[in-house]
Amino acid sequence: MAKKLDNPLRKLKEKFLFLGFVGPIYFAFIMVVIIPFLIGVYYSFTNWSAIPGRAIDFVGVSNYIKAFNDQQFAVSFRATIMYTAICVLLINIVGFGLALLVVQKIRSANLLRTVFFMPNLIGGLILGYVWRFVFIKVFVALYETTGLGIFGLPWLSDANQAIWAMAIVTTWQMAGYIMVIYVAALQGVPKSLLEAAQIDGANILQKTRHITFPLVAPAFTVSMFLTMSNSFKMFDVNLALTKGDPSRMSELLTLEIYNKAFTESNFGEGQAQAVILFFLIGIVSLIQVYFNKKREVEM
Amino acid sequence: MEREKIRLRFLEIFGLILGLLFLSPFYIILVNSFKTKKEFLLTTLSLPESATLANYTKAIDKMNFVSAFRNSLIITVTSIVLIIVFSSMAAWMLVRTNNKTSKFIFYSFVASMLIPFQSVMLPLVDLFGKNNLNLINTYTGIIFMYMGFGASLSVFLFHGFIKSVPRELEEAAMIDGCNKFQSFWYIVFPLLKPITLTVAILNGMWIWNDFLLPSLVLQRKSLRTIPLSTRYFFGTYQADWTLAMAGLVLAILPIVIFYFFAQKHIIKGAMEGAIK
């Protein structure tokens, strides 16, 4: 029916229709993502200053060399890797634990799901400020009343501690989201399998280890990917909670790129760092998805 | 069975304690937002003795809360509507015309999901700035950008869903004299309701809370969204904790109210968006 008339007019009409349906969003996508990305890659090889009228000269790979010799870039790189590693571990452990809890036959399961998910709806900037207050004021007050050492730690004034502080806030924010993904996977584990194992005498740990874990592996892949790319790109919590303090030691790559461009007015080098961030995220994500896919069990 | 009961009872209590722990940061900012400065200095953890609303009236005024809320609402709602309209149309056309061009376009959407915002932000601001497109400090500019950044995931989600929608219905509609636009809007689009909800929720959560993009392209004070005005407010009054806490409660309140009414859809939407 559709392909009865194959004349040029009809073909032209179909092309127009295609353009009408796909065009608007593709145009926005090209203008906002693709063109700036390509310009960005080009600018990273120039002495671009973002000052109108000033000539943009090609400078080869010197921005990249500068970036790799930059002390602050090395600090931020290390901070980002450490932050990401802690986040991926903590969020997945807490998220999976919460999921195991809310799939039990307890009366408050639905309520708890709602509560655990809630921080995820609030922006990282606002959460960062909330926790800044908690770390600075509330922990001090708690230390004075309880005397517990954990509240007396220099949470925001020590470099490593500050990275842990950011990871805790991110875990609090994201664990509920990851929980929801694991809940969906856990509900997909067939009851009959667990019952069969029970009859065969498996205890709860054995059941979790040998039946539940392998069957939720796809959810694990998704969650690792999400937590990892989210942590690499984290900006809001960093800005609100530590601002990079103490002395730029907790400054993640995204904030470093931002400062390189807008504080130091060094746009070319900032853009080179942004391109490095792109490759870092791309490579790590692809490797991680590749290895996890290999492990997954076919159902 | 007795043992199972005890186990569940124990888990119930454990869960409730954990739930309270999760909510405790909200509790602490809420109680302190009602305190006077003097009372705050004496105690951080306790309930306020006599709740004062002075912090709120001042915060609403200093944050330009009404204007910030309006800006956030206009930008978020308009962006969501445009993203849904244009990405569902595009996804449908891409599924139904299975040729090289449509495959190329689809995969360019998918591949771009790996590009972090920070890798495009500097040239983006330059391209849309005064000397080029001149769309900085306009609703149009930022909404257009959200369309572009929201496109990939939205087209991807619609694409996956539409693949399972049978062709027969729309073909029947075409025989009855509908054109492509009509058969899409009257026949196909209503079938996409579940995924439309997911797309709306995922984009809404992100756009409402986004800070970095608006901070770069909305510099005029009257255009500030809630995250932006929170930032400036907190920066100015961060020594004045009780006032700052009132500001944070105000910034959180709209989301919590919305969550209260739509929590089921939100959790479901977030889950489906992640798994696909």
Query: Burial code of B156-194, b = ≥16 C-beta within 10 A, e = fewer?
Result: bbbbebbeebeeeebeebbeeebebeebbeebbbebbee
Instruction: Inspect the interface and report whether the beta carbons of A36 and B120 lie closer than 8 Å.
Output: yes
Average the pLDDT over A221-245 and give the result.
Answer: 90
DSSP codes of every residue in B23-65:
HHHHHHHHHHHTS-HHHHHH-SSSPPSS---HHHHHHHHHHTH
Instruction: Inspect the interface and report whether the beta carbons of B15 and A123 lie closer than 8 Å.
Output: no
pLDDT at A64 over 70: yes
pLDDT at B44 over 80: no
Higher-confidence residue of A93 and A204: namely A93
Q: Give pLDDT tens digits for A1-13.
A: 445 556 788 888 8
**B79 in contact with chain A, both atoms CB, cutoff 8 A:** no
Instruction: Inspect the interface and report whether the beta carbons of A33 and B112 lie closer than 8 Å.
Output: yes
CA distance B161 to chain A (A): 17
Q: Which long-range contacts (CB under 8 A, 24 or more apart) does A164-169 make?
A: A164/A86, A165/A131, A165/A135, A165/A241, A165/A242, A166/A83, A166/A234, A166/A237, A166/A238, A166/A241, A166/A242, A166/A250, A166/A252, A167/A83, A167/A86, A167/A87, A167/A90, A168/A90, A168/A131, A169/A127, A169/A128, A169/A131, A169/A237, A169/A241
In a 10 Å sphere around its CB, with 0-12 CB exposed, 13-18 middle and 19+ buried, how is residue A208 labelled?
middle
Query: Burial code of B203-236, b = ≥16 C-beta within 10 A, e = fewer?
Result: bbbbbbbbbbbbbbbbeeeebbbbbbbbbbbbee
Task: Quote the pLDDT of residue A148.
Answer: 81
Instruction: Inspect the interface and report whether the beta carbons of A37 and B155 lie closer than 8 Å.
Output: no
DSSP codes of every residue in B116-163:
-HHHHHHHHHHHTSTTTT--TTSHHHHHHHHHHHHHHHHHHHHHHHHT
**B68 in contact with chain A, both atoms CB, cutoff 8 A:** no
Q: Give pLDDT tens digits for B110-125.
A: 999 889 999 999 999 9
Q: Could you say which of A17, A111, A285 has the minimum Cβ distance to residue B114?
A: A285
Which of A74-83, A237-246, A275-284, B38-47 has the weakest average pLDDT? B38-47
Instruction: Inspect the interface and report whether the beta carbons of B108 and A34 lie closer than 8 Å.
Output: yes
The residue of chain A with its CA nearest to that of B208 is: A123
Q: Could you say which of B29, B118, B131 has the minimum Cβ distance to residue A254?
A: B118
Q: Give pLDDT tens digits for B172-219.
A: 888 888 888 888 998 899 999 999 999 999 899 999 999 999 999 998
Which of A16-20, B35-39, B194-198, B211-215 has the weakest average pLDDT? B35-39
pLDDT at A275 over 70: yes
Task: Quote the pLDDT of residue B229.
Answer: 92
* H helices, E strands: number in chain A: 16, 0
Which of A107-121, A137-151, A284-298, B77-91 has the weakest average pLDDT? A284-298
CA-closest candidate to residue A211, choices A192, A232, A233 = A192
Are the C-beta atoms of residues B163 and B95 closer than 8 Å to each other? yes
ipTM, interface predicted TM-score of the complex: 0.89
pLDDT at A299 over 60: no
Task: Quote the pLDDT of residue B228.
Answer: 93
Task: Quote the pLDDT of residue A60.
Answer: 84
The residue of chain A with its CA nearest to that of B131 is: A52
Residue B26 has a CB neighbour count (10 Å cut-off) of 17
Task: Quote the pLDDT of residue B50.
Answer: 77
Average the pLDDT over A152-166 and give the result.
Answer: 88
The residue of chain B with its CA nearest to that of A218 is: B275
- CA A11, distance to chain mean position in Å, is 44
Which of A90-104, B60-74, B124-138 has the weakest average pLDDT? B124-138
Tokens of B161: 């869903």
Q: Percentage of residues in chain A with pLDDT exceeding 90?
A: 50
Are the C-beta atoms of residues A95 and A223 closer than 8 Å to each other? yes
Q: A28 contacts in B (CB within 8 Å)?
A: 86, 144-145, 147-148, 151
